[in-house]
């Protein structure tokens, strides 16, 4: 992907984010930029130069409210994609899409609208045994979904257990035994069974870093404001504590060979606006 093409993609994602932010502000819904987007805001005042997505999370209650509110809006070309409305979708989180901007999705090698995922923030049980059981259930659901959609897994860094599971899954086709919608519904119910209000540790379990994305609740707090691409956006209250937990020395640039787009790593097809 060229720098120009990447910037076109980033600008298309900003337009999605602006629609999202406007709805949140109009209805007093909480959200936070997280992950690489938060690093970008702190370190670069916007996108990490090679980043190709926006990372956003919402407390579960506001997440559910947002879905209902958005469905009553008419903000074309921005639309919503949600597995509960379309069982064919392979992803669990709600996704806002810009139907006028098409990319080639590397997981399916098919044309798809550019998107922004919204991750729900849920609680991690306080009690040790309940926490272990919760993690066991989440591991099983994610494994079942991974096996079902095994042909759509990105070629990213994985540990030996994940590589072994992928090899086994592709060889046996065992993933076709799982009904992905039922698995997602069970996963959804498990995540919602421990509310943010009940728990001392909260986070976005369906993010790239999985359980590491659970942090002490006061890291998020009531949030703060930070500049991102010329906008004022919401971020976790304890930005340094959150980013240090997630990434260590987040102000240190990675080696040049790692400065690559991670999600959309093929040629984009920018449609007419």
pLDDT digits (tens, 9 = 90+) for 111-129: 788 999 999 999 999 999 9
The DSSP result for 44-87, as a single string, is HSSS-TT-----EEEEHHHHHHHHHHHHT---TTEEEE-TTT-T
pLDDT digits (tens, 9 = 90+) for 222-240: 999 999 999 999 999 999 9
Shared-domain flag, residues 46 and 178: no
Secondary structure letter of residue 88 according to DSSP = T
Same domain, 170 and 248: no
Beta bridge partners of 96: 80, 116
User: What would the pLDDT profile of 185-203 be if each residue is shown by its tens digit?
Assistant: 999 999 999 999 999 999 9
Contact 181, 87 (CB under 8 A): yes
3-class secondary-structure state, position 242 = helix
* Helix/strand/coil for 62: helix
Q: Judge whether 38 and 236 are in contact, CB under 8 Å.
A: yes
pLDDT at 204: 95
Domain span at residue 187?
A: 126-193
Once rounded to an integer, what is the mean pLDDT over residues 210-228? 98
Residue 37 CA from chain centroid, whole number: 11
pLDDT of residue 109: 66
DSSP state of 255: P
Is 87 inside a domain boundary? yes
60 and 177 in a single domain? The answer is no
Query: Does 20 lie in the same domain as 113?
Result: yes
In the numeric block, which tokens belong to residue 84? 């509960």
C-alpha dihedral (125, 129, 132, 137), degrees to nearest 10 = -80
> Which is it for strands 224-228 and 56-59: parallel, antiparallel or unpaired?
unpaired
Together in a domain, 86 and 149: no
Res 101: pLDDT: 85
Give the count of domains, the chain. 2
Residue range 156-175: mean pLDDT, rounded: 70
Q: pTM to 2 decimals?
A: 0.88
Angle at 119 between CA 99 and CA 232, to 5 degrees: 80
Per-residue pLDDT at 261: 67
Instruction: Please tell me what DSSP assigns to residue 263.
Output: S
pLDDT attached to residue 200: 98
Confidence of residue 4 (pLDDT cuts 50, 70, 90): low
pLDDT for position 158: 63
């Amino acid at each position: 992907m060229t720098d120009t093409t990447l910037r076109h993609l980033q600008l298309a994602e900003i337009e999605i984010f602006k629609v999202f932010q406007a709805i949140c502000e109009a209805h007093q819904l909480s959200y936070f930029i997280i992950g690489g987007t938060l690093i970008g805001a702190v370190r670069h005042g916007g996108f990490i130069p090679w980043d190709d997505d926006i990372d956003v999370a919402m407390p579960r209650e506001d997440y559910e409210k947002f879905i209902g509110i958005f469905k009553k809006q008419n903000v074309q070309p921005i639309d919503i994609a949600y597995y509960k409305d379309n069982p064919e979708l392979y992803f669990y989180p709600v996704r806002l899409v810009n139907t006028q901007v098409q990319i080639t999705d590397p997981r399916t090698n098919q044309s798809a609208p550019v998107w922004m995922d919204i991750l729900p923030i849920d609680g991690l049980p306080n009690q040790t045994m309940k926490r272990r059981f919760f993690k066991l259930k989440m591991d099983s659901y994610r494994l079942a979904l991974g096996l079902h959609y095994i042909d759509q897994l990105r070629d990213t860094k994985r540990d030996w257990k994940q590589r072994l599971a992928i090899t086994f899954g592709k060889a046996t086709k065992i993933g076709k035994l799982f009904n992905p919608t039922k698995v997602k519904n069970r996963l959804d119910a498990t995540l919602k069974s421990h509310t943010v209000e009940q728990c001392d540790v909260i986070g976005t379990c369906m993010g790239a870093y999985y359980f590491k994305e659970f942090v002490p609740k006061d890291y998020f707090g009531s949030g703060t404001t930070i500049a991102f691409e010329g906008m004022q956006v919401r971020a976790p209250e304890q930005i340094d504590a959150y980013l240090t937990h997630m990434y260590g020395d987040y102000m240190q640039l990675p080696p040049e060979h790692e400065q690559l787009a991670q999600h959309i790593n093929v040629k984009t097809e920018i449609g007419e606006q």
